[in-house]
Structure 1
Amino acid sequence: MDIFKELIKKLTPFLKSLGFSKKGNSFHLELDKNYGIINFQKSRESTEDVLKFTINFGIYSNVLGQSEYDYNNLSKPEIEQCQWNSRVGAFMPNSPDYWWIINFTDDLNTYTQDLVDNIQNIIIPEINKRLSDEGLINSWLNENNAGTTEIGRFKYLTTLLKIKGDFNTLNHIIETSMQQMKGKPNAKLAIEHLKEIDVTYQS
């Protein structure tokens, strides 16, 4: 028996009841061409008898995807293409990098309930908070977990703010971010990005 496949099989009806569709080891929830993605990642340390895995989840913005070079609106995005992503452990107490370990002889039903609880109590609320572009903007403005790199947050946030036409917030983000990045390699990348989205920055 493939423990990993069996586990995903057990979780599929629950996730489908929440509106997710299955693609491989991932589940997609669509809202206005944006996607919330839940991905089950099997560790390379897994064996036939012991499964080690974690859960990644993220948000893919169609608007941001169109501005990226590998844009393809004909297929559902992968977790790696999400502009915001995290592991479930980042939202657990003390923010551990949490992995489940299941032995071949264990009762899968026990683990299934634990996973359902974590998906319901942690992952779904965090996805729902960010599934719209407005939610992503609010998250990048107010949340500590950026779900991306410093320069990634700057690029995504400024792009969305410009499209939204919120130039007061856009200018504030540019000023504060450029001060923080002053003298760092990211400063040059930030200036190049602002040129790409046709935003003037006076240093």
Structure 2
Amino acid sequence: MTTQNVLKQIVKETIAPLFKAAGFKKQGNNFAQVCSDFSATVNIQSSKWNTQDEAEFFFNTGIYIEELFGTVHLYPKSTFPMEIDSVLRIRGTELTKNDSWYSLTTDTNVEQLKRMIMKDITEYILPHLRQFESINDVIRVMELREKDGVYDNPHHLTVLYCSIGDLEKARARMARVYNELKLDSQKEFAIGLANRLGLRV
């Protein structure tokens, strides 16, 4: 059996049941738990260098928020909440504090690998996503990460402030971000976004 087939088997028999039990839906290698204001998302990313004899992969996590479509994202939203369209996109390796990807070779102890994956999902990935119970929780973590120098798209927080009705904070952030932008194209986008949100810059 090729490593690709073993990986498919691990997804089907080990990973998918864990996320399903936690209330996630699956589409391909993407998982999403849909809540009223947002969705928790997980993606299994495989290395582009994978071969029949060797496969590496890891988890990406994120928080998907519909308000970003038609405001920051000017393209149609997908029918399934995707990690790639999310905020707070954090690699599983950051959550587990282990920089290594999961690795499958012809010599891999598959049962041992499964146990490691199950531990990482139950002890790190799911607890991380469960901390978000409202948009306010998402905002709090985004603000903390920004203070630590981990930057998301600067407009995401502006949209989230609007979504909870904090227009004063949204206006102040919009003005600050606009003044920090260097390129004319970025400033034009910011003006358009401000108009879409009913803000001024």
TM norm structure 2:
0.80
Write out per-residue CA displacement over residues 40-92 of structure 1, whole angstroms, 9 at most, x where no aligned residue.
1111222212211111111111222354333347x212222223312112334
**Greater shift in the superposed pair: 12-21 or 118-127:** 118-127
Aligned to 2:19, what secondary structure does the other structure show?
helix
Aligned residues: 194
Cα distance change on mapping 1:147 and 1:16 into 2, 3 Å:
farther
Q: CA deviation at 1:187?
A: 4.6
Write out per-residue CA displacement over residues 177-197 of structure 1, whole angstroms, 9 at most, x where no aligned residue.
345x15456455434422332
Cα distance change on mapping 1:84 and 1:183 into 2, 3 Å:
same
Is residue 159 of structure 1 aligned with residue 159 of structure 2?
Answer: yes
Equivalent in 46, 56, 60 of residue 42 of structure 1: 46
Aligned to 1:143, what secondary structure does the other structure show?
helix
Equivalent in 6, 9, 17 of residue 6 of structure 1: 9
**Cα distance in 2 for residues equivalent to 1:122 and 1:7:** 19
Give me the identity figure in percent: 19
**Cα distance in 1 for residues equivalent to 2:181 and 2:196:** 20
**Cα distance in 2 for residues equivalent to 1:47 and 1:182:** 43
Is residue 69 of structure 1 aligned with residue 74 of structure 2?
Answer: yes
RMSD of Structure 2 on Structure 1 (CA):
2.7
Is residue 90 of structure 1 aligned with residue 68 of structure 2?
Answer: no
Q: Which amino acid aligns with 2:159?
A: T
TM norm structure 1:
0.80
Provide the residue aligned with 2:116 in structure 1. Answer: 114
Note if contact 1:3-1:104 (Cα within 8 Å) is conserved in structure 2: no
Cα distance change on mapping 1:90 and 1:190 into 2, 3 Å:
farther
Aligned to 1:28, what secondary structure does the other structure show?
strand
Gaps of 5+ in 2: none
Gaps of 5+ in 1: none
Q: CA deviation at 1:171?
A: 3.7
Cα distance change on mapping 1:182 and 1:22 into 2, 3 Å:
closer
Cα distance change on mapping 1:18 and 1:50 into 2, 3 Å:
same
